[in-house]
Amino acid sequence: MSTVTISAQDINKLRQATGAGMMDCRKALTETNGDFEAAIDWLRKQGQKVAAKRSDREAKEGVVIAQTTPDHKTGIVVCVSCETDFVSKNADFIAFAQTIADAAIAANAKSLEELNNASAGSAKVSDLVNDKLASIGEKIGVTRFERIDADYVASYIHGAYRIGVLVGLNKEAAEAGKDVAMQIAALNPVAVDAASVPADVIAREKDIIMDLMKQDPKMAGKPEEMLSKIAEGKMNAFFKEQTLTAQAFVKDGSKSVADYLKESGDVKVTSFKRVALG
> What burial letters (b/e) apply to 152-178, b meaning 16+ CB within 10 Å?
bbbbbbbeebbbbbbbbbeeebeebbe
Give CA separation, 15 vs 41, 89, 94, 168, 242, in Å.
13, 22, 20, 43, 50
Does 77 share its domain with 167?
yes
Residue range(s) defining the domain that contains residue 28: 8-53
Residue 168 domain-assigned (yes or no): yes
**113-172 tens-digit pLDDT:** 999 999 998 899 999 998 888 888 888 999 999 999 999 999 999 989 999 999 999 999
pLDDT at 177 over 60: yes
Q: In CATH, what number is assigned to the domain containing residue 30? A: 1.10.8.10
Tally of domains within the chain: 3
Residue 178 domain-assigned (yes or no): no
Does 66 share its domain with 168?
yes
pLDDT level of residue 58 (50, 70, 90 thresholds) = low
Does 246 share its domain with 167?
no
Does 164 share its domain with 67?
yes
CB 183 within 8 A of CB 260: no
Does 71 share its domain with 166?
yes
Does 260 share its domain with 242?
yes
Does 80 share its domain with 157?
yes
Mean pLDDT score of the chain: 90
Does 40 share its domain with 111?
no
Does 70 share its domain with 160?
yes
Residue 141 domain-assigned (yes or no): yes
Residue 231 domain-assigned (yes or no): yes
Residue 125 domain-assigned (yes or no): yes
Residue 185 domain-assigned (yes or no): no
CB 112 within 8 A of CB 63: no
pLDDT at 163: 95
Does 110 share its domain with 167?
yes
Does 88 share its domain with 128?
yes
Residue 184 domain-assigned (yes or no): no
